[in-house]
Amino acid sequence: MGDAPEYRWDTGEIVEVPEGDSAEVWVRSVTTKEYRIRLSLIRDTLYIKDETQEDMKNSMRAEGLNDLAVRARTGRKRVPYETGSHLYAAFEQIKTLARISSHDPKTQVGAAVLCPQTLRVLATSVNGFLRGACDDLLPNLSPDKHTYMRHAERNLVNYCARKGIAMESLLVICTHSPCYECARALWDAGITIIVFETEHKQTREGFQGKLDLGYSMMGLEMVCWKKRVYSEADANRYRAMVLRPKTREQVIKEIGGKDEL
């Protein structure tokens, strides 16, 4: 094996490719431990296939290594791989569900209720028609669709009520910020924080001039959970909508300037 071509494990370079379809060579890793691999030339492409764990163990035992050393040198390999956060995974789940299940061909909206500590998804919903309705016959384009199409947030509240899921103090996420009526329904269900990805124009328009419920837009860093389960990228991707009833002073200030009063 001394004349076999050398494979540079640290740089990924093959000094010399052997002639023929395949050949066994020795590979030296950056930790200077040697093991055998097989190089296969298929359609001018070099494929590298590791020996099986059992073959490697047998080779090392033949070299006189004890079982402890064999286990140390044949442990499972892992490459650096960073997964997305729990919040990102939940948003991807409702966006995929909305693309597949929403009855609206123009605007697909998804919503979900999550555990605020772990962000585990408890229930999901999309915008669509009434449960059990003839969705293949009802109009799904503006302006006729607005009479029959229900928002994802309202469908979420109704689904949780039907299934016995208490929404008190839980977290709701939406692909779009909720309208005024949906925000009222969420507030009455016990929701105070709504995390969304896209701000809908109906949010600001719907809340204008309303005297009962108000909201504040905040970043995720301003919403304190017991356990941080979102990434720095999420802070730039999503925003939080915090609901609260308007105070007596706010209501007096807003109605005080009206001519009819």
Which pLDDT does position 57 carry in this prediction? 61
pLDDT along the chain (261 residues), means of 10: 45 46 39 40 39 59 57 52 78 94 95 90 96 92 93 96 94 96 96 94 91 92 65 87 93 73 42
Which pLDDT does position 12 carry in this prediction? 44
Which pLDDT does position 15 carry in this prediction? 44
Give the Å distances, CA to CA, from 38 to 49, 92, 108. Answer: 6, 40, 50
Q: How far is CA 25 from the centre of its chain?
A: 43
Which pLDDT does position 235 carry in this prediction? 85
Which pLDDT does position 153 carry in this prediction? 97
The Cα–Cα gap between 13 and 48 comes to 12
How far the first Cα of the chain sits from its last, in Å, is 98
* Cross-strand bridge partners of residue 172: 113, 194
Q: Which residues of 83-104 are buried (b: 16+ CB within 10 A; e: fewer)?
A: eebbbbebbeebbebbeeebbb
Which pLDDT does position 143 carry in this prediction? 92
The Cα–Cα gap between 180 and 37 comes to 64
The residue to which tokens 């090392």 are assigned: 60
